[in-house]
Structure 1
Amino acid sequence: MKSWSPIGKDGVQYYPNTWKGRSNVYGLWVKGASNTMYYNAAGYSQSKVGSPYNKNFFNKFSTSSFYCSQLAWRSWEQQGINIDYNKFDTVVSPMEVVKSGNTTIFYSN
């Protein structure tokens, strides 16, 4: 949604890293992931730049549009690691990714 986008664009975009100036922020490691898996997950996410924003939060399975935590989940799902806390629903929220048994917090503010 362009109204809240710091660069005025909709959908999956490159954004500046502004973690230091924010609150309620988490940096996560994915447990058991190799460097190759990190590289491939990042590559998957990068390949989706320009994809539209997924306004249907109840469909995490979409591969044509994405919301933020859905894209992170899908990128890791492609690597064989499910980072969703509640694995049996159709939504993945940021806090579900934080609470997942497959992630660990390395940074919080």
Structure 2
Amino acid sequence: MFVIGHWSQTDDAAAWAKAREGAAYRKVFWDNKYYTGKMNCSQLVWAAYKKQGIDVDNNGGKGVYPRNIRDDNDTVSYKSY
């Protein structure tokens, strides 16, 4: 599980992402930061936090991959059991 930023921002990001539940999935990652239709997993997480003013793409490229979110300085990983 990833928790990024302040708790209120995390809650708002989660609510924004939850509102898109059931949306169509996009398989393309290489330019997913600038596409506004269907979303993939990392694009959804990135966009949810970007709406809160937090950019979790560690390399700033055209696309955001799961590893970009994992490796970003604003990302904290918590292990749950």
Q: TM-score, normalised by structure 1?
A: 0.64
* Runs of 5+ unmatched residues, structure 2: none
1:66-81 maps to which residues of 2 (within 5 A)? Answer: 66-81=39-54
Contact 2:31 2:62 in 1 (8 A): yes
* Runs of 5+ unmatched residues, structure 1: 1-26
Q: RMSD in angstroms over aligned alpha carbons?
A: 1.6
Q: 1:77 & 1:92 partners in 2: Cα distance?
A: 12
Q: TM-score, normalised by structure 2?
A: 0.83
Larger RCO (CA under 8 A, 6+ residues apart): 2
1:52 aligns with 2:52: no
Map Cα deviations across residues 33-90 of structure 1 (whole Å, 9 max, x no partner): 2222112101110111122111222222222211111110010000000111111x11
The percent of aligned pairs where both chains have the same amino acid is 27
Aligned residues: 79
Contact 2:2 2:76 in 1 (8 A): yes
- Bigger Rg, structure 1 or 2: 1
